[in-house]
Amino acid sequence: MKLTKEELLESLRAGLARIPDPRRHRGIRHALADILTVVVLGSMCNCDSVEETGDWSDDNSEWLLPFIKCPHGLPSADTILRVLAVMCPKAFDEALADWVSKFRQSVQQGQQRQIAIDGKTLRGSGDRADAKRPAHLLSAFVTETGLALMQEVIDAKENEIIAIPELLERLNLKETTVSIDAMGCQRAIAAQIVKKGGDYLLAVKENQPTLYADGIAYFDWALAEKHPFDDVPPPVRSASSTDAGHGRIEERTAHILPTHKYLSTRRDWKGLAGIGIVESQRTDKLSGKTGGLERRYFIFSDKAMTPELLLRQSRAHWAIENGLHWTLDVVFREDDSQVRTKNAAANLSLARKTALNLLRASPLRMSLRRKRSACARRPERVLEAIAASI
């Protein structure tokens, strides 16, 4: 059944109304859900700061007021900032996740095959003069659809190891491959993913020195030309791909090996099915100059892993950099934001991620930047995006 404009926006407001209001009851002039609704819609309409959100809501008050019942007028930028500063980001995140549950239903049912987890520092949220460290956000991202799922707010990048299990606990991982960079290559994290019905693809570097050295020795042994008759390794399976773009050619080759008695650390990692290498080399099209060979190691739990799949998944993991982090910085100017008040930066980032999800669902055939401008010019475009996502 097609929803009316009022029903579409009321669904958003009702979802946000579930968030506990952290403010003292006395003196409240605007409902928390109304303020947060304005913030989310403003993020879709080219607002990159609380000041721009306040200006946009004033300019579009005739459109907003029929469904946002603000007897004292729409909230000012100062009011928006004060509320975002004291509100719990996790409560905001969970409310937004519940609201777009239909949008995420395919992920919840395990139809989406890969979730990438990575962190991003909100550089403008720090203040050296006050010794305030910038906020660091850990995000989950569906590589196939470009959907930002959830986030955890942490004090610094080195605390990702603590935050990753908390984020994983909130996700449905059944029939899903979770890819994480070397920071998340931890035994407990691997065990948690397997326990929740998922598979892991973890990058291996020197932060796991025993596993890293063991993997290199295992591949060197398996790739050796000759072996004693009673010491034959399993066959190495390989696949290659070539991509051209941005003035260069990149050749990538993946090799995988199943677990074997020669891999001494195999019992330390729950569900370990094998180890893989991805080698990449770039050649400049104009000069013909070839760069050095880059080699990356991975461990995986998927028993159906193939070298072709390893090539796809290892590359898809970095979609979180381009599809989420880069987009937030370039399209939403997140790194330029100087908001430093308590939880405000993290909550604004959540609003941007929600806006990004909704804009990607919009039927408009144009870039995200143009979609935001189109929504700012004609707020009805916001309704089209929401209708396409729920």
Q: What angle do CA 79, 128, 86 make, to 5 degrees?
A: 25
Contact criterion met (CB below 8 Å) for 211 and 265 = yes
SS3 120: strand
Contact criterion met (CB below 8 Å) for 197 and 175 = yes
Rounded CA separation 130/126 (Å): 9
Which pLDDT score, from 0 to 100, does residue 107 have? Answer: 43
**Low-confidence stretches of the chain (pLDDT beneath 50):** 1, 106-110, 112
What per-residue string of b and e applies to 363-376 under the rule 16 or more CB within 10 Å gives b?
eeeeebeebbebbb
Contact criterion met (CB below 8 Å) for 80 and 55 = no
Which pLDDT score, from 0 to 100, does residue 108 have? Answer: 45
Which pLDDT score, from 0 to 100, does residue 44 have? Answer: 94
The span from the first CA to the last CA of the chain, in angstroms, equals 11
Which pLDDT score, from 0 to 100, does residue 211 have? Answer: 94
Which pLDDT score, from 0 to 100, does residue 106 have? Answer: 43
Rounded CA separation 11/18 (Å): 12
Domain limits, the chain: 5-103+339-389, 209-305
Which pLDDT score, from 0 to 100, does residue 130 have? Answer: 59
Distance of CA 175 to the CA centre of its chain: 18
DSSP state of 243: E
